[in-house]
Structure formats: C-alpha cells, structure tokens
Amino acid sequence: MLFSELGLSAELLRATRKQGYEVATPVQQRAIPLILEGQDLLAGAQTGTGKTAGFTLPLLQRLQQSEPTNQNHRIRALILVPTRELAAQVGESVRTYGIYLPFKSSIIFGGVSINPQITQLRRGVDIVIATPGRLLDHIQRRTIRLDNVETLVLDEADRMLDMGFIHDIRRIMKVLPARRQNLLFSATFSRDIRQLANQLLDDPREIQVARRNTTAEQVSQIVHPVDKSRKRELLSYLIGDGNWRQVLVFTRTKHMANRLSQQLERDGLTAAAIHGNKSQGARTRALADFKKGKIRVLVATDIAARGLDIELLPHVVNYELPNVAEDYIHRIGRTGRAGQDGQAVSLVCVDEKKLLKGIEHLLKQDIEKIVIEGYEPDESIRPVAIKNGGNKGNNRRSSRGQHPGGRPDSRSSKRPNGRRGANARARARNGSGGTTSRSRRAA
C-alpha cells in the first residue's frame, strides 16, 4: 500500500517522498488509519519495522487538522522513550516528517545540561520527545506544562518497564489531561505490558507486525563453545579470519563492553564501546564512525544498542549471552541484510549453558554448536553462576535513568594454553589472513 492511499496530508506526503518512501510498511499501513481516526492503540512492533513514521505521521496530521496555523506552541504531543539515543532518533524523525509543517519539537533527556532545554520549552514547543527521568525533573521544576497534551506515545514500552521506569511513567500520567489519545508501542506483550495497557489505554485497537527478523530464515546462528578466558582471543581470530568488516558485539555489562573494546584495539582492530555511562557525544561519535566503516567493531550493551538505527549488519556476536532470553532475539534481529544472510555467532562458556538452554527453549530449536580447533573448552572447568549484572533481572536504575549495569563475574577460568594467541592477533591485523578456520561439530 502506498503512503498516498493512507489519507495523509499533502505536506506529509511530500516529506515521505523526500525520504524516498512511497510504500508504507505493514505497521504503517495498519497504524496510520487507526491513529488518524483518534483511536487508542496497542501496537506490537520493534525497531526496524518503520514504527516511528507509523505514529509520527498521523500524530503530525492530527495536530495539523486541529490547529493548522499553530500560533500558540503549547505542548500537544508527548512521546516517551526509554533511552537518549531513541529520543534523538525519534526527534529526528519528527523533524524530518514535519519539515513542511509549522510545528516545533524539543528533545528532552538526561546526561546533558537542563538549561538549554528550559530555554527551548519557554519559547514554546508543540511536540516533546522525552526520557521519563529528565521529563520528571522538568515537571518538578515547573519548567514544562503538559496540560494541553492531546496525544501520548509510549515508544518501546517494554524497555521502559525493563529499565524500571514504571513509577516515573505513572507520575507523568498524573499531570496529563485525562482526555487524550494514547499509543503504546512495544516489541513484546508481556503481562506487565498488558497491565500497563489496561491502565492507560481506552478501548484500544491492537495490531502486531512480524519482527524484522524472526530468527530462522535469514539469520544463521552458531554457538562456539569456548572457555571464558579465551573468548576475546577467539573473537579477534574470527573477525580477522573471516575478514568481518562491521561487527556488532554484545556484552552483558558496561564494564565488559569497555574492557573488550580496549582489548580488541590492542589486537589491532578498530573498536568502540557504546553504553549508558558514555557521554552523549561519545556515543553519537562511535555510532557514526561505525556506520561509516571507520570502526570495525562496536561493542554494546543491550540497552545501548536498543533503538539504534543501524542498517542490518552481516555479523552480530554474542560475546556474552543475555540474562533474558528475549534479548537474544532483539540482538540477532540486527543481522541479515536485504536478501542476504546474516550471521549471529555466540561465544558460550560453561557458565552460560543454562542461558543457552533458555534461549533454545524460547526459539523452539537447538542452535548448531561448532568447536573451533585450538579453542576447545577445558572440560575440567566447573560452571559458576552468573550474577544478574547489566540486564533485565536487575530492575533498579540509576538516577539518570540509565541501565544499571554491574560488574561481570570476575572469576577467571583456567587457561588451557595460549596456542592461538599470537596467530589470532596477526590474523586480526592482516584482515582476511587467507586461511579458513577448520572446525568440527561439538559432540
């Protein structure tokens, strides 16, 4: 279905054409007419489905219809998002699609000075895109008025709940007018999301669109069993040996993301870490460099990677398995490119066997296990329980609304030998290295 068939205004159609978009994605086809009718909506859609335009376009149109000249600049639409990156991206979309409309928008998140935000708000804006923590700051300082909000969007609501934002969301709801349109977007519909939807939405319509990638078809998944102490070495080897040029690597914690990125740099690979403790500038720079190909390996925590608008990648590596099985699907949904296969590789040590079982149970399939020669796990190492650091199990968040993170399990397992070390480093530096890794199936 074309955008031109969805009842959008000439200004909005012009803006979508400017982006080169003619055909609406499934979530857009279904959400846009419902939102234009003024319905409340519960939408199951994740990053990459085109959901942002799916709510931004009709939201702008409703503002345009109800007050076309727009002289007052009162906040009439509020979009709540879990992370700064997503706030920046959604803000960009609001500007992009609203380019031929007179509305002003403002992006509000923590970790940066509050004063420019106050100045902007004082001058008057129509649309606010905000993370909950900083928005509450503004509410408490009385630097924002939300009593004219007509439309509320909760984007990536499941993430907001995972990050412990539920109380902030409830407090924000209290200062909004009771009569308003509510749109809730979430990648998954857990019990908590259903509960939030029940409290928030009025007779909602429900839509669900397929994930960008439901694992099996486009993404080949492989597990390499390996000792924890040799994961870094194996990763460098795989990148160098396969001549992978753009790799997104996931760790469970910020600490591990930092450490790994530094170690990879020492192996001769350009790498950067992206997580909640990095300044906004550093995160934006790392992402831009990764997209341009200046950085070969981007090491990210789940929360930091969520909502990043990175084109689908050929290689995603789970350096550490996530504590929560659903995050595995989010992670590997980043790989696979139009028509091409993507590869999701998981480096799994003995401590993570239980997590792997949980993931396989969720996927309803076993993932192929391949032991790389020279990196055979030492069978004598006993598993150690993994603490819930840096993932969903730990629901408290820091005052800035960032993901809590935590220290990784610092136990170092016995290192069998260092046979691959020098080779791996040399291959990583040389790019392809020319040899194919010999491997054999795990028993």
Question: Smallest gap, in angstroms, from Cβ of residue 138 to ligand AMP?
Answer: 25
Strand positions, DSSP E, 203-333:
205-208, 219-225, 247-250, 271-274, 297-300, 315-318
CA nearest 391: which of 332, 315, 328, 346? Answer: 328
Q: Which class for 263: exposed (0-12), middle (13-18), buried (19 or more C-beta within 10 A)?
A: middle
Chain residue whose CB lies nearest ligand AMP = 52
Question: Smallest gap, in angstroms, from Cβ of residue 22 to ligand AMP?
Answer: 8
Question: Smallest gap, in angstroms, from Cβ of residue 101 to ligand AMP?
Answer: 18
Identify the DSSP state of 218. Answer: T
Rounded Cα distance between 283 and 276, Å, is: 9
Query: Nearer Cβ to ligand AMP, position 25 or 83?
Result: 25
User: How many CB atoms lie under 10 A from the CB of residue 337?
Assistant: 12
How many CA atoms are closer than 13 Å to the CA of 155, on its beta-carbon side? 32
Query: Nearer Cβ to ligand AMP, position 132 or 333?
Result: 333
Question: Smallest gap, in angstroms, from Cβ of residue 206 to ligand AMP?
Answer: 18
Query: Nearer Cβ to ligand AMP, position 20 or 281?
Result: 20
Strand positions, DSSP E, 90-180:
105-108, 127-130, 151-154
Rounded Cα distance between 246 and 343, Å, is: 12
Question: Smallest gap, in angstroms, from Cβ of residue 50 to ligand AMP?
Answer: 3
Question: Smallest gap, in angstroms, from Cβ of residue 54 to ligand AMP?
Answer: 7
Question: Smallest gap, in angstroms, from Cβ of residue 209 to ligand AMP?
Answer: 10
Query: Nearer Cβ to ligand AMP, position 312 or 355?
Result: 312
Query: Nearer Cβ to ligand AMP, position 6 or 260?
Result: 6
Question: Smallest gap, in angstroms, from Cβ of residue 235 to ligand AMP?
Answer: 28
Query: Nearer Cβ to ligand AMP, position 253 or 335?
Result: 335
Rounded Cα distance between 124 and 74, Å, is: 6
Question: What totals of helices (H) and strands (E) does the chain contain, helices first?
Answer: 16, 15
Query: Nearer Cβ to ligand AMP, position 47 or 106?
Result: 47
CB of 399 closer than 8 Å to CB of 133: yes
Query: Nearer Cβ to ligand AMP, position 94 or 359?
Result: 94
CB of 312 closer than 8 Å to CB of 338: yes
Give me the residues that bind ligand AMP (CB under 6 A), please: 21, 23-25, 28, 47-53, 309
Angle between helices 132-141 and 166-174 in degrees, nearest 10 = 40
- Strands of the 151-154 sheet, one edge to the other: 105-108, 127-130, 77-80, 151-154, 181-186, 41-44, 205-208
